[in-house]
A and B are shown apart, each in its own frame.
Chain A
């Protein structure tokens, strides 16, 4: 589980530092570069939330 938690931090860290430097295609009305950065906000949130739930479960098991 510990490995999964670490992975759930590394993926969004790399994702949020990556830039896809192009305007086309537009997604949800956003140029791709803006959409990509905004999408990682949501994905980071999801990853960290799963991690915090895992942490809580492990806390209960002890």
Chain B
């Protein structure tokens, strides 16, 4: 037991050391702190982007989903999620570099020539990020408590972890996250590949025998169903995830720290290969279904730890816990950094336009501990509100997709009034649908099942887009950005 605690503690200490050291005597201006002066090469970009996506979800949620749902869990590694960023990130990066933009909110404000639109995007972003941080922290508590065999108090652990993250984000900014992400990725890869291969081998003599036993014990468990977890459910969910993923302010923001467009494209090309790790997560969840078949409800999320503890010695459970701990803390560090930057640069500055840039830079770092403490507060006292907010958060950020995509067009047909109206209606609709627990089936009781199984996010984003385009027909387009586009064209001709 003590060996696992020792390993978890040592890993946290190492991550903290790497995070602090990442500063390397650089002068921490806001642009260096938040986006590393757009100087990250392909390797670090890869680790950073993968670092955000492989969060506690991989350790708890994904293995839990495999345990509960079976085969339909393949939605978690749908490759479409990486084709979208291949197309949208390079033009976003180019525009952000040209205009010296640091956040998603900056981008919208500049594209639509509207500070209030930027403020709207900033508020949607922060409201979505806080429950996401809370989810990581709740996962962190479960992981530490499981991996230490209940010997470390989850409350004390989450305080220590959060203080460590707060300090290295404060000191090193995005450099700290990137360094800790390298350690996290190595640990996660080792742990998941090992568990995914060893567990089926140990219990069933191989991966195929494991699947054959599963198919014999629970016929149909590996397939999509005719109703419910059906093919239309699968396609709509994959679409929603693919469109929404890079609308998260921290994913959007991290992509701005790239050195060039090519690193972003290469990154989008390599990330699907990395997702193969998630296939191994399925093996772990499926082995657990057969070996410990009685985990009910939320306990299904413990599948990975329960099976690891049954099959492996405590020191290895410690390594699993250490990987899980970093899987929570590294995304947290990116989220806190992004939330703090948005709070000072896009919300505080919007309310008090006279604040100088030096003051904003100072303020951003003051917001780091504030965001951390607010997240800790909601982790302890948030209860069900946080759960409802998290369900909404994914659909909230998705509402930013329509105005973003149109803003990348040479002649954007969307006006700032249209973009705002669409987003406001989309967000309100998501809140209403979530709170009333509506699904496509309750909205359209007589529709055929392939429509009833669609993800509810499809409704909100469609209505958002329709309102956005309709309002835009009746309001003024963003003239400035069109002139700008023409000027860009001329510049391109001049330089070539």
Contact = CB atoms under 8 A, between A and B. Distances in A.
Determine which residue in A30, A44, A51, A62 has the highest number of CB atoms from chain B within 10 A of its CB, and name it: A44
Contacts of B215: 23, 31
A37 B78 contact: yes
A23 B212 CA distance: 9
A22 interface: yes
A51 B211 contact: no
Contacts, number: 109
A23 B215 CA distance: 8
B276 interface: yes
A45 B265 contact: no
B262 A56 contact: yes
Interface in A9-59: 9, 12-13, 15-17, 19, 21-23, 26, 29-31, 33-34, 37-38, 40-45, 48-49, 51-52, 55-56, 59
A52 B207 contact: no
Contact of B272 (A17, A45, A52, A59): A45
B319 interface: no
A52 B45 CA distance: 16
A62 B495 CA distance: 9
The size class of the interface chain A forms with chain B is 20 to 34
Given A40-B79, A45-B270, A49-B269, A19 B224 contact: yes
Interface stretch (B82-90, B120-128, B298-306, B427-435): B82-90
A56 to B, nearest CB: 6
6 contacts: A16-B238, A29-B208, A37-B74, A41-B276, A45-B272, A51-B269
B458 interface: no
B207 A38 contact: no
Given A29-B206, A41-B79, A48-B82, A19 B265 contact: no
B222 A23 contact: yes
B235 to A, nearest CB: 5
The size class of the interface chain B forms with chain A is 35 or more
A37 B279 CA distance: 9
A26 B272 contact: no
Interface string B375-398: 000000000000000000000000
B275 interface: yes
Given A17-B78, A26-B212, A56-B262, 12 more contacts: A17-B239, A21-B231, A30-B207, A31-B222, A34-B279, A38-B77, A38-B276, A42-B272, A45-B270, A48-B86, A52-B265, A52-B269
Nearest to A39: B79
Interface in B211-246: 211-212, 215, 222-224, 231, 234-235, 238-239
B211 A31 contact: yes
Q: Is the interface of B mostly helix, strand, loop or mixed?
A: helix
Given A45-B270, A52-B265, A34 B79 contact: no
Contacts of B231: 19, 21
A48 B211 contact: no
A34 B238 contact: no
B223 A44 contact: no
Contacts of A29: 206-208, 211
Contacts of A26: 208, 211-212
Task: Across the A-B interface, give the 5 residue pairs with the lowest CB-CB distance, nearest first.
Answer: A48-B269, A52-B265, A29-B208, A44-B79, A16-B79
A37 to B, nearest CB: 4
Determine which residue in A9, A31, A37, A59 has the highest number of CB atoms from chain B within 10 A of its CB, and name it: A37
Q: Is the interface of A mostly helix, strand, loop or mixed?
A: helix
Contact of B78 (A16, A34, A59, A62): A16
A30 B282 CA distance: 11
B211 A19 contact: no
Contacts of B262: 52, 55-56, 59
Given A16-B78, A30-B207, A44 B71 contact: no
Contacts of B276: 38, 41-42
A41 B269 CA distance: 10
Contact of A33 (B74, B86, B266, B273): B74
Contacts of B279: 30, 34, 38, 41
Contacts of B268: 48, 52
Interface in B57-103: 71, 74, 77-80, 82-83, 86-87
Contacts of A44: 79, 82-83, 272
Interface string B267-302: 011111101100100100000000000000000000
A41 B273 contact: yes
A49 B270 CA distance: 8
A33 B222 contact: yes
B236 to A, nearest CB: 10
